[in-house]
Structure 1
Amino acid sequence: MCCATPNPFDEMEAEMEAEMAETESGEGSAVPECLSSFVDRGSVESHRYFLARRTLLEMIRDRGFPVPDDELALTLPSFRSKFGDKPKLDDLRISLSIPCKGSPPKKITELLVNITKHVLMPKHELLTTDEKQDLLKKYNVGESQFPRMLESDPVSRYHGLKKGQIVKVTYEGELTGSHVTYRCVL
């Protein structure tokens, strides 16, 4: 071999061995600095309440009610500084006047993830009464002839849909492009 080029992996390996030696000798920190910034030092309870509150505010906004942008943009550290590491339920209460026939779900687990933000979830739009009538006339069909969506469907519950309402579902795909279907809530 006439000439040898330095291998950058040898240098990285030497640096890692030096860091390991420092950690074992007690001179370095137990968790490298680059990873310690990702460690969540708060309670699991406050993190769950943060996720549930954010999903609830997004759901309220998606139903057409005004929600301040600063409430939606609240980060987990800001949430903990505002409500504490072990928030009280009374402090998290959101007051909103909405005419409602049923009782809201009491399960926080349903609110941990906003299902409408999932990558595979198609876009759902509720049709107005006029749009519904135009659609029925355009295709000359009745409500019972549309594909069905149960009132207990997670997306239906998220949007607060009732029986007889029609939803426009828009699918986006690489092969099919944009595809629109309609579903009637039962």
Structure 2
Amino acid sequence: MSAMVDGTSVATIHPSTSRLFRCYKVVNAMLRKRGYMVQSEHLNMTPQSFVERFGAHPDRNQLTILVSKDTTDSTSSQLFVFFPEDEKVGVKPIKVYTDHMKTQGVRNAIMVLRQGITPFAKQAVQEMSGEYDIEHFREAELLVDITEHQLVPEHLVLNDAEKTELLGRYRLKEFQLPRIQPTDPVARYYGMKRGQIVKIIRPSETAGRYVTYRICI
């Protein structure tokens, strides 16, 4: 049975390739919603154009993405997305990626895992967290853009200035706000860090929309 992505059948390409295509497209949408500059051709990519660009059986290393934000803060403005080949990522690929990040002067990265990450690799990522911020998602978590689901309200992560303005306007302390865990799927999607505030906009039959705020803690 054919699967459909944006009205296009993905049954014409190999199942593993169509799965990778779906992940690649969701990742690019996620990066854009995080405020990174993403080429429109990546956002609008079709299964056919994906195969034309990367081949019928893509080399996952060729899928590496480097994006930037329109900001003067060079330490946090760039991010790599890596697609490791290993079914379960160990310490060695982590070392390869961090060496590459160091060479390019990039400290943020996302790994899209085929299956998972070994306990030793996970520990290595945690130990490097002071120097490198490496997130990881399994492919299965990126097959669908969760923020596009009709039951998920709009989320907007506030920047530092917006956070300060919000707390000052309502004379709030951070601990007075409802909480969202960094492990929450939507918080992970937006790459939220502890201390960041997200604005949540829900439709309301009476007011048109209902706005709440949560702090990542």
The two structures have a TM-score, normalised by structure 2, of 0.63
The match for 2:154 is 123
Residue 59 of structure 2 is matched in structure 1 by: 88
More strand as a share of residues = 2
Q: Which residue of 2 aligns with 1:65?
A: 36
After superposition, where does 1:10-49 map in structure 2 within 5 Å?
Answer: 40-49=11-20
Question: Matched residues in 2 for 1:161 and 1:40: separation?
Answer: 35
Distance 2:212 2:24 in 1: 31
- Segment of structure 1 superposing worse, 176-185 or 124-133: 124-133
The verdict on how the C-alpha distance between 1:147 and 1:77 changes in structure 2, with shifts beyond 3 A counting, is: same
Aligned Cα root-mean-square deviation (Å):
2.0
1:167 counterpart (198, 202, 206): 198
In structure 2, which of residues 210, 213, 217 is the aligned counterpart of residue 179 of structure 1? 210
Q: Which one is further off, 84-93 or 42-51?
A: 84-93
Shift of 1:127: 1.5
Residue of 142, 157, 160 corresponding to 1:111: 142
TM superposition shift of 1:65 = 1.4
Greater RCO structure (CA 8 Å; 6+ sep):
1
**Structure with a larger share of its residues in helix:** 1
Aligned residues, how many?
150
Match of residue 188 from structure 2: 157
- Mapped to 2, the partners of 1:52 and 1:83 lie a distance apart of 14
1:144 and 2:175 correspond: yes
Alignment match, 2:87: none
Structure 2: where are the runs of 5+ without partners? 1-7, 68-77, 80-106, 109-131
Contact 2:177–2:214 (CA under 8 A) maintained in structure 1: yes
CA distance in structure 2 between the aligned counterparts of 1:107 and 1:47, rounded to whole angstroms: 15
**What percent of counterpart residues are identical?**
37
For residues 39 and 46 of structure 1, what CA distance do their matches in structure 2 show? 9
Amino acid of the structure 2 residue aligned with 1:167: V
Q: Match for residue 3 of structure 1? A: none
Q: What amino acid is aligned across from residue 134 of structure 1 in structure 2? A: E
Q: Between Structure 1 and Structure 2, whose CA radius of gyration is higher?
A: 1
